[in-house]
Structure 1
């Protein structure tokens, strides 16, 4: 790809759009450090990128939609400019980096006890007895509980590494298994919708 075309994409320096033959989808490649990713890198001019993708890759993404297993996730990421929206339920324990919450001034339960608790929530959700959002409202140790666990929209680098990897690997509408971070134990549910232009991160934990 020429320097002129790289400017046309709206991507940061050293990044270009390439095409995956195996998935029939475009992806982003850094030709200096050889990194590749499905979502736009930080610093991308997303409006310019949308125009470029519509001009040069609309046919490829349309053909891929019916065959690529991650096509729906890819499309959501494109619409969101690399951001996704997710909710979570957090159970802290005494080894958490901040062993306190809106529910308890001091959390003294062990990590094993927290694991038993969150596995019970996971089973309730899997049996269809309740939803992650309803449980989060009363049981989550994150302040996002008042929003049914909704964390808003976030991109790469905005969350703890383990949380980020789990969230971005979910298909829209899917709920994770138990995810362990320095904050505690999480169940994460990725939303299907893409953010509005005004969407911002709501909070962290």
Structure 2
């Protein structure tokens, strides 16, 4: 499952594409049509090619997944106007075993000065690690899918671990207006996942 916020096209709910595969320079990634069919009845799930056509939040993750995973199928959901509970309901319907990987794509803070961004992103990271689903869209553009994941993680007894937290000012970027990024892993409690 791959979820990210919509940035260019407003959509009510969680949008699936009508395509059967996504393509990158590394090859095609087939969509999991059985999983997609299993959530099609949910009222918050819609089909919108427009929501996917210019959206970067999902597609930017695909080359990384193609490099790390030998073979996989995809359920791409562009999240528009929806509640965290609606996102969590979709995640529950798709929740699988160890073979299921869930990726939420979201930036953290946007265009703040470096020091303020670090403080804001550290606070957001504390909320995520605590599974506190009260993140707002100033803290993360993908607050809705992130909060939906946090609700589902609580239900499934998962723990969140911060892997890394940085912003664009940590590279060669301008420190007067930075974008924050974080990486988190969600694993069963008392599991030392690497």
TM-score category, normalised to shorter length: 0.3 to 0.5
Larger relative contact order (Cα-Cα within 8 Å, sequence gap ≥ 6): 2
Tell me the TM-score normalised to structure 1 length. 0.31
* Higher normalized strand content (fraction of residues): 2
If you compute each CA radius of gyration, which structure gives the higher value, 1 or 2?
A: 1
